[in-house]
Amino acid sequence: MAESGRSDPDYSEKIWRNSLSDNTGLPALVGRARTLSGETTPEARAWIAAYVDALIVPLREAQLPISGRRAVALCASVRSVHGALAALGRAQPLADAAYLALKWGMPQRAQGRRIADSVLDGVHRLALRTAGEPESSPWAAIRAEPDPVRRIALGLAAPESVVDRLALSQLVTDAFAELPLPERYALAWVLSPVFSARDRLTSATWELLAEPVARVLAFAEGGEQQVSAHRSRAGHWDYVLATVSALQREGHPQAAEIGNLLYTLFAVECEPCSPDRVVDRLSEWQALFAPQAWREAA
C-alpha cells in the first residue's frame, strides 16, 4: 500500500508527511497493528510457517525462488499484515493476509521484475492446499514429487474430495506443458483410457488429451498413405521401422498401436524423436497407470 502510495504522482511528499503525523491517527494504528501482530496465536504461527514452507516449491517452479531468510521474513510479514488488517477493523482470514504479504513481499519486484497476479494466485492456491497438511496427505506427496507424470498418478490415487476435477486437470496440463511433443502423444495414449473410465477431468483438458489420440486414430484409419520427406529424414525413418520391427519380433501385445503412434509422429507431426524413448516412456507410464498400481497407491 505504501509502495503504491509513493509511486502515485498525486500523493505528494507533503501529504505523505501529514499522513504520518500524530493528528491523523496513523501512528496509533501502526502501534495497534504491532501489538496485534505480537499477539498471534501459536496455531496461527504454525499455520503461517506451514504456508510459507508450502510456498517454496511452487515459487521455485514459477521461476520466483526465495531464500530461507526471505521465507522467515515472509512469516513475519504475514503476521504483520494480519495484525494491520485487524487494527483496521477488517476481519479477514489469515489466508488473505498471507496472500497480501506474498504479493507485496516478493524480492523480484525490487529487481524490477513484473510478477503476474495469475502466477501468484496459482502459487497461493497450491500453498493453501498443502499448508498444515500432514506429510502423509495426498497434496503433500504430490507437491513433493518432482516428476509431473507421477504427480498425476498420485492425484488419481487420491480421493476426489481431496484432489478435485479442476486440480487433477491442472496436474495433467502441467505435465503436458513440460513434455516434448512425442511424449505428449505417449502420455495422451496412456491417460485417455484411464480417465475415460473415471470422469475426473475438465472438458478443456479432454480436448488437450484428445488431439493426439484423434490424430493417431485418423492416421490408423486412413489406409496406405504417401509421405514426402526430405532425404535427411531417411535415417530417422529407418530408426522408426527398426523399432516397430523389433516390437513385432518380440511379440509385443501392443506393437500395432505403438507402431501407428510412431508412424503418426513421423508422417503427420514430422517430429524428430527417439522411438526407443517413446516406447520406454509408454511402458513406464502404462505400468504407473495400470489399474492395480493406482488402486494400491490409493
Q: Is the Cβ of residue 87 or residue 282 nearer to another protein in the bound state?
A: 282
CA dist 191 and 176 (Å) reads 11
CA angle at 52 for the pair 47 and 53, rounded to the nearest 5°: 95
Closest CA to 101 of 88, 86, 84: 84
166 contacts: CB under 8 Å, gap ≥ 6: 202
Least distance from another protein to the Cβ atom of residue 185, Å: 12
Least distance from another protein to the Cβ atom of residue 169, Å: 10
The set of long-range contacts for 163-169, using a CB threshold of 8 Å and a minimum separation of 24, is 163/138, 163/139, 165/199, 165/200, 165/201, 165/202, 166/202, 167/129, 168/200, 168/201, 169/201, 169/202, 169/204, 169/205
Q: How many residues does the chain have?
A: 298
Least distance from another protein to the Cβ atom of residue 264, Å: 9
CA dist 124 and 268 (Å) reads 40
Least distance from another protein to the Cβ atom of residue 122, Å: 22
Which residue ranges make up the site for another protein (CB under 8 A)? 165, 189-190, 192-203, 206-207, 209-210, 213-214, 217, 219-234, 237, 241, 244-245, 248, 253-257, 259-260, 263, 266-267
Q: Is the Cβ of residue 13 or residue 250 nearer to another protein in the bound state?
A: 250
Q: Is the Cβ of residue 194 or residue 279 nearer to another protein in the bound state?
A: 194
Q: Is the Cβ of residue 31 or residue 235 nearer to another protein in the bound state?
A: 235
Tell the burial category of 269 from Cβ atoms under 10 Å away from its Cβ (0-12, 13-18, 19+).
Answer: middle
Cβ atoms within 10 A of the Cβ of 238, count? 10
Radius of gyration of the chain (CA): 26
What would the grid cell of residue 131 be? Answer: 499448508
Least distance from another protein to the Cβ atom of residue 93, Å: 31
Q: Is the Cβ of residue 37 or residue 264 nearer to another protein in the bound state?
A: 264
What would the grid cell of residue 91 be? Answer: 476481519
Least distance from another protein to the Cβ atom of residue 282, Å: 11
Report how far apart, in Å, the C-alpha atoms of 266 and of each of 153, 220, 258 are: 29, 13, 12
Least distance from another protein to the Cβ atom of residue 273, Å: 16
Least distance from another protein to the Cβ atom of residue 175, Å: 17
